[in-house]
Homo-oligomer: A and B are copies of this chain.
Amino acid sequence: MRLRNWLFHNFREVSRIFGFEEVDFPVLESEALFVRKAGEEIRDQLYCFEDRGNRRVALRPELTPSLARLVIQKGKSVSLPLKWFAVGQCWRYERMTRGRRREHYQWNMDIIGVPEVTAEAELISSIVTFFKKIGITASDVGFKISSRKVLQEVLGSYSVPENSFGKVCVIIDKLEKIPVDEIKKELKLVGMSEVAIEELLQVLSIKSLEKLEEVLGGGGEAISDLKRLFFLAEKFGYSDWIQFDASIVRGLAYYTGIVFEGFDREGKLRAICGGGRYDKLLSTFGGDDIPACGFGFGDAVIVELLKERGLLPELSQQVENIVCALDQDLQGAAASVATKLREKGQTVDLVLEGKPLKWVFKRAARINAQRLILVGSSEWQKGMVSVKILSSGEQYEVEVGKLE
């Protein structure tokens, strides 16, 4: 819990520094919110039920659909752009593996209402800021960046129907996980010709923007968006964190433009985070489309990475005072001392039972107490208590009213 709080505190601090406002959504949602037909992993692993009123419901697997619904609901009552973040629990119905649990938390940041690539650049900047804050450098982690428009241009030139686009992306996202022959088979099922598939796989192997420009030509949005993003990255100051990689498409159906993924450079772990532009999501829920982009950053893989790098922080319990009555009759006196200190904002662990001093010292050590305050009969009659500074062993008596 201390680790979780530390992590979430950093999520929140970075979001705050970037001027984002916190939002949250229901944990239990209508299943319909997450039903998309592109064959996504997230849909297959939906933790869904029928409730007592025979409604199909699901524990949210992600936050973005709820966010989209909220944006539609708010309609004209909010001024764009919205810059929202959330740290929310999400669920998947799946076997557990390293860095992948049934229940996990996700930090999301989303910018709603900005069509320019500056928005994606800002989002990546915030993740970089987070990494730096927790001690992770550009030699530990990088971002692979591409654009769904790359695929769109390739598919367009082979007349692949537009409504297959989401499906094709979801299939391609599995490129590193399942054999390429399987991928080809699935792409054929979606109606792609063999020539188109070969061309697509060719393009997906490209690792430089120059090469991509040679293949696609210079006039398209894919190239201009990506160039703009790399230009902005330099100005934001994180060029050394990012690289173009056409194979990145992300596994969610709704992305439409820039997509990115944070990865550990040692290649041992799953993606650390991922995001992209989703300009057409709102209309799938019956709203008017608003340009938007965002990312999700889980709480599991990052902890694995911190462990790998020896960067997990030391987080022990911190208590300023432990207050103890030396005999049962002085419990009330000890309680009044505790209250006085707490009123001054001091943290106090009050010993609630009669215990031997040895026990009290052991407890003080375990909770890292700085001072031990003993309420003993003879001192108390003089309005005094005895204070022991536990780090130095220094000991003195002080008037109760003068305890600071």
Contact = CB atoms under 8 A, between A and B. Distances in A.
Contact of A122 (B81, B333, B350, B367): B350
B232 A335 contact: yes
Interface stretch (A32-40, A49-57, A391-399): A49-57
A164 interface: no
Interface stretch (A22-30, A244-252, A256-264, A304-312): A22-30
A235 B47 contact: no
B121 A335 contact: yes
A353 interface: yes
Interface in A335-373: 335-336, 338-339, 342, 345-350, 352-353, 362-363, 366-367
Interface stretch (A110-118, A179-187, A212-220, A274-282): A110-118
A235 B335 contact: yes
Interface in A1-40: 1-2, 4-5, 16-19, 21-24, 26-28
Contacts of A119: 352
B342 A17 contact: yes
Given A349-B83, A352-B81, A51 B52 contact: no
Contacts of A150: none
A114 B331 CA distance: 14
Size range of the interface on A? 35 or more
Contacts of A27: 27, 59, 89, 103
Contacts of A353: 81, 114-116, 118
A79 interface: yes
Complex copy number for this chain = 2
Contacts of A22: 1-2, 5
Nearest to A86: B1
Nearest to A79: B366
Given A27-B27, A114-B353, A352-B116, A19 B319 contact: yes
B1 A23 contact: yes
A237 interface: yes
Interface string A63-84: 0000000000000000101010
Contacts of A118: 331, 335, 350, 352-353
Contacts of A158: none
A147 interface: no
Nearest to A116: B353
A366 to B, nearest CB: 6
Interface of A: 1-2, 4-5, 16-19, 21-24, 26-28, 47-52, 57, 59, 79, 81, 83, 89, 91, 93, 103, 111, 114-116, 118-119, 121-122, 125, 129, 231-232, 234-237, 317, 319, 322, 331-333, 335-336, 338-339, 342, 345-350, 352-353, 362-363, 366-367
9 contacts: A16-B347, A27-B59, A50-B50, A116-B353, A118-B331, A122-B335, A122-B350, A232-B332, A235-B335
